[in-house]
Amino acid sequence: MSNDSGRSGRRRMALPVLLCIALLAGCGPLNPRPLHAGGGGGGPCGGGEAVGVLNVTGGNVSLNGRPGRDGDAVCDGDQVSTGAGGGASIVIGDDRQSDFVQLNENTDPRFTWLKGSHCLWVHELRYGQVLADNSRRRTCMLVRTPDVDSLSTGGRVLYTARPARRGEAAKTEITVVHGRVSALAVPDPHRLQAMSPVQISRLSQVSYAPDIRVTYSARRIVQPQLRLPRQEVLEAVRWSDALKLEAAPALRAPVRPREPRPDPGQPDHGVDAGRTSAPAAPTAVDVRPAVTEPAKPAIVLPEATGAIDIRSSGTAGKREAERLREQELRERELRERELRKIELVPLVR
């Protein structure tokens, strides 16, 4: 009897690991249209690796402590912060079919590429709301707060990090809008940089399905998962409506290269000090690499037939944008039905 229960327990523990391995193996290329032009000091990040393009949708947005602007390149290791009334999107690519991360006001994450697994690591999220959407290109994303580490390889997940207050400990709410997300047990976050996809998948503890909300504090579940009405889930991400990719002007503009840091040996009189004429426009960066055959994801979503700039296309453009939006919703529903066919461990009660 004990042997049967032991084998059953091992099977239950193996299922989330196998699921994560399958999802990671089915991910599309991490950055099919990279924003950097390679080494040798070129590209918007000066030869470093770019995470994506910054789109400012509300005032009070900073990039590494400086005012952020539409089209700024977000590079490996950069921190994007939003203040009161601020909002931003970091688009991991250069078109409307790219994955992206949206920041609500009063949010402060840092973005890092994990070299061993080719996953995007959104970390140092101490407070605020992050909506991670990798339903298009299935970019592998890890999100770390003081309370929990999680992994998503295709879906839409809302993270709400709440700092400690008088009489209340810090906590993080995870709300699954689409797809699935796994909670990880990460003993040493510094080791993530060198881990392979299989090694990261083995850190999975439990997987959560759409419409589920679970709350963590200090690496422990403090509020068991709760299945929410669909309308309540959509209401929780209503703030992201202003951050839609169709309205992001930087997607149609050249990526703005990183400004050089001031010389520490010279006094800093401000960006505009000493200028006698208008600064030259930044040189457009060719962000598209040589065409290569991308790896096929497990569930392939059809690409949109063309990006539409609705700012200048009038009624016809709006109709086309609505058609594409309806098509995208149908594609998401199709993929959700496919994902539901995967057998998972029973949800924690």
pLDDT given at position 337: 65
pTM: 0.65
In a domain, 109, yes or no: yes
Domain containing 89 equals 9-249
Q: Does residue 200 contact residue 117 with C-beta atoms inside 8 Å?
A: yes
Whole-Å CA distances, 31 to 107, 166, 287: 24, 42, 11
User: pLDDT digits over 83-101, tens only?
Assistant: 999 999 999 976 667 899 9
In a domain, 45, yes or no: yes
b/e burial code for range 286-319 (CB count within 10 A of at least 16 → b): ebeeeeeeeeebbeebeebeebbebeeeeeeeee
In a domain, 285, yes or no: no
Q: For the domain that residue 33 is a member of, what is the CATH number?
A: 2.60.120.1440
In a domain, 313, yes or no: no
User: pLDDT digits over 131-158, tens only?
Assistant: 999 998 899 999 999 999 999 989 999 9
In a domain, 117, yes or no: yes
In a domain, 203, yes or no: yes
In a domain, 58, yes or no: yes
| Number of structural domains found in the chain | 1
Q: Count CA atoms within 13 Å of residue 278 on its CB side.
A: 3
pLDDT given at position 41: 52
In a domain, 347, yes or no: no
From the list 171, 92, 96, 160, the residue with the least C-alpha distance to 131 is 160
Spell out, as residue ranges, where the chain has pLDDT lower than 50: 2, 13, 15, 17-40, 246-248, 251-253, 261-262, 264, 266-313, 342-349
User: pLDDT digits over 155-185, tens only?
Assistant: 999 999 999 998 899 999 999 999 999 999 9
